[in-house]
Amino acid sequence: MEAQKNGFETEYPLLSKVNSPADLKALPAKEIQPLCKEIRSYLVEQISENGGHLASNLGVVELTLAIHRVFNSPKDHIIFDVGHQCYVHKLITGRREAFSTIRQSGGISGFPKRAESEHDAFGTGHSSTSLSAALGFAEADQLNHSDAYTVCVLGDGAYTGGMIHEALNNCKRDLRLIIILNENEMSISKNTGRFAKSLSKLRASHGYIKTKNFIGRFFRWIPFIGKWIFKRMLRFKRNMKDAVYGSNIFEDLGLFYMGPADGNREEIVERLLREAKDSQSSCINHP
């Protein structure tokens, strides 16, 4: 057993250090990308041997690490939809040593499971149920005067479900609710329909996002009047965009839309999430 442990530490030197979200936050930023590489290698190794959902978890490595570096689980509620995107979440919330038992009799679940960990806020199996639950968490926190956040990670396939749109229709702007649209253009098969097509209109180049973030930070750094100037510039930009291109579905629902951004660059996703957190309002993040 000791030799096996030493072998793991040799093969995965960074992953072996991460047993909790606190350990992840303690890592310097320069070690996050090497950690992502180790996690992908470990997922391929384990899922090749034991089965499970590979592609969906390889795609959320940077996103999951960014979420746990910005938010404070289990105080902040993290909900995955569909739940089989949660493997990375399980690895860094104390279940790494048990991960080889995933989806086996007596082992850990392939989905979030409340009885398994305090970090699993809601048991999501099938798609489109999560946002209704997240809305309930966020409303309850507001009633209890809690400063906790609720983070809901949704694949774009889940967004095509009616329950998601019912929940979006009931979202209030003043909740601490962060909705992350994890767009991979696939569910069980390629997504179709008007909503899937509308997402293509929201995509922008990396250069545009980088410039927009730089301008925002520049004006917010100006003492006393910087935030005031930035808010009015943002309002002017939105009015111009709406006049030329039209608003997007999320802004029409009264939610603060942030994105799109490169979801495979952890530092960009982390910055986007910190901006969403600072807004202290209901946001759609589109990495």
| DSSP structure string for the chain | -HHHHHHHHHH-TTGGG-SSHHHHHHS-GGGHHHHHHHHHHHHHHHHHHH----HHHHTTHHHHHHHHHHS-TTTSEEEEESGGG-HHHHIIIIISTTGGGTTSTTS--SS--TTT-TT--S---STT-HHHHHHHHHHHHHHTT----EEEEEETTGGGSHHHHHHHHT--TTS-EEEEEE--SBSSSB--SHHHHHHGGG---HHHHHHHHHHHHHHHTSTTTHHHHHHHHHHHHHHHHHHHT---HHHHTT-EEE----TT-HHHHHHHHHHHHHHTS-EEE--
Which pLDDT score, from 0 to 100, does residue 238 have? 60
Which pLDDT score, from 0 to 100, does residue 51 have? 86
Which pLDDT score, from 0 to 100, does residue 133 have? 94
Domains of the chain: 2-285 (3.40.50.970)
Which pLDDT score, from 0 to 100, does residue 161 have? 77
Which pLDDT score, from 0 to 100, does residue 2 have? 59
* pLDDT tens across the length of the chain (287 residues): 555 667 788 899 999 999 999 999 999 999 999 999 999 999 999 999 888 888 889 989 999 999 999 999 999 999 998 888 899 999 999 999 999 999 998 899 999 999 999 999 999 876 788 899 999 999 999 999 999 999 999 876 677 778 888 888 898 889 999 999 887 654 444 544 555 455 444 444 444 555 666 666 666 677 777 777 766 776 666 665 555 445 566 767 777 777 677 778 899 899 889 988 988 888 888 77
Does this model's pTM top 0.85?
no
